[in-house]
């Protein structure tokens, strides 16, 4: 899960720096025991209404859905853009508690 969170933050920051013209970018990561919430928001220009999410955002969505999570994109043209991801923290626990497979299985 840690790698996925890093990739989400990395792609979101990269998009904000390249496209937003933002003065402020905030990153927050919270875990309440049942889920991990990652939010990257900027105060930049937002996406044009006619724009579609690029491959980076589509990739984030695929990773998040594969983990049973959800992705929300919040676009405010002229006022900013936010990527919000919520992933069940049980994904991490299940991966850590899964028995190792024997070699050659």
Q: What is the CATH number of the domain that holds 92?
A: 3.30.565.10
- CB-based contacts of 66-72 (< 8 A; 24+ apart in sequence): 67/1, 67/4, 67/91, 69/35
> What is the helix (H) or strand (E) element at residue 15, kind and residue range?
helix 2-15
* Domain annotation covers residue 6: no
Q: Which residue has the tokens 């003065």?
A: 23
**Residue 31, in any domain of the structure:** yes
Look at residue 102 and tell me if it is in a domain.
no
The answer to whether residue 85 is domain-embedded is yes
Q: Which domain holds residue 65?
A: 24-96
CB atoms within 10 A of CB 93: 11
15-38 pLDDT, tens digit each: 999 989 999 999 999 999 899 999
Span 48-97, pLDDT tens digits = 766 677 888 999 999 999 999 999 999 998 899 999 999 999 765 555 55
Helices 55-66 and 2-15, packing angle to 10 deg: 160
Q: Give domain status of residue 36, yes or no.
A: yes
pLDDT attached to residue 103: 47
β-pair type (70-76, 35-42): unpaired
> What total of structural domains would you count in the chain?
1
In-domain check, residue 35: yes
Is 2 domain-assigned?
A: no
In a domain, 101, yes or no: no
Q: For the whole model, what pTM was predicted?
A: 0.80
């Amino acid at each position: 899960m840690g790698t996925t969170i890093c990739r989400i933050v990395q792609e979101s920051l990269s998009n904000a720096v390249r496209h937003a013209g933002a003065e402020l970018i905030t990153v927050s990561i919270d875990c309440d025991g049942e889920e991990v919430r990652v939010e990257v928001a900027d105060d930049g220009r937002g996406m044009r209404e006619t724009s579609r999410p690029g491959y980076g955002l589509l990739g984030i969505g695929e990773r998040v859905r594969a983990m049973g999570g959800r992705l929300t994109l919040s676009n405010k043209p002229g006022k900013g853009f936010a990527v919000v991801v919520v992933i069940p923290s049980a994904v991490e626990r299940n991966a850590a508690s899964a028995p190792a497979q024997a070699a050659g299985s």
